[in-house]
Amino acid sequence: MTVMRIPGLALFALLLTACAVTPPFDSAKLSGADRTLSYQQAVTDSAALRGGRIVWGGSIIETRNLSQYTEVVVLAYPLDAQTRPLTSSSALGRFALIWPGYLESADYAPGRWLSVIGDLDGLRDELVGESRHSYPVIQAQYLYLWPLETGPAVSPRFHIGVGVRL
């Protein structure tokens, strides 16, 4: 009778791993990154925090391809444990990320969700509409563009087995 249970347990374990959510950044990429550094801290104390590695994310507002790099302006949101933006929370403010190379603006389009690991590189003062705002700049090391079908974590979801959602 115990021989029959082994294949059943193996199948059950396989089904459980199929439901597991894989984080976009492995522990090596997250190593040394400060997940507790708030947006407000970065704005108010940017000089002291310059060079610090951070993990942020949000919704893309604009992507600008320049000659040597791409700049992406993002509306920041708090992140969940998987570094996914939580849109059920209030937006924190804007930040700009600098990517050393070309990013396709059709992929990195307004409204897409991304998460970034990078180094804080001070503040930028820029017009937003007719008002001047200062927001943090990140020299990006790693980017994760969330798939369209996954999207941000809006509400709790419950999964059973493979491909069944409630």
pLDDT tens profile 97-147: 999 999 999 999 999 999 999 999 999 998 888 989 899 999 999 999 999
- C-alpha distances in angstroms, 21 versus 25, 26, 31, 37, 96? 12, 12, 20, 24, 28
* The pLDDT value given to residue 69: 96
Q: What pTM value is reported for the model? A: 0.75
Amino acid at position 67, single letter:
S
Tell me the pLDDT tens digit for each residue of 43-84: 898 888 898 999 999 999 999 999 999 999 999 999 998 899
- Asked if the model's pLDDT at residue 31 lies above 70, the reply is yes
- Asked if the model's pLDDT at residue 8 lies above 70, the reply is no
| Contact indicator for 56, 116 with CB cutoff of 8 Å | yes
Q: For the chain, what is the total number of helices (H) and then of strands (E)?
A: 4, 7
- Asked if the model's pLDDT at residue 12 lies above 60, the reply is no
What count of other Cβ atoms lies within 10 Å of the Cβ of residue 102? 11
Tell me the pLDDT tens digit for each residue of 134-154: 999 999 999 999 998 655 555
Amino acid at position 85, single letter:
P
**What is the mean predicted confidence (pLDDT) over 3-17?**
53
| Contact indicator for 88, 111 with CB cutoff of 8 Å | no
Is 124 in a helix, a strand, or coil? Answer: strand
* The pLDDT value given to residue 27: 75
**What is the mean predicted confidence (pLDDT) over 26-50?**
84
pLDDT band at 34 (very low <50, low <70, confident <90, very high): confident
Sign for the pseudo-dihedral over CA of 115, 120, 123, 126: negative
| Contact indicator for 73, 94 with CB cutoff of 8 Å | yes
**What is the mean predicted confidence (pLDDT) over 17-28?**
61
CB burial string 49-72: b at 16+ within 10 A, e below: beebbbbbbbbbeebeeeeebbbb
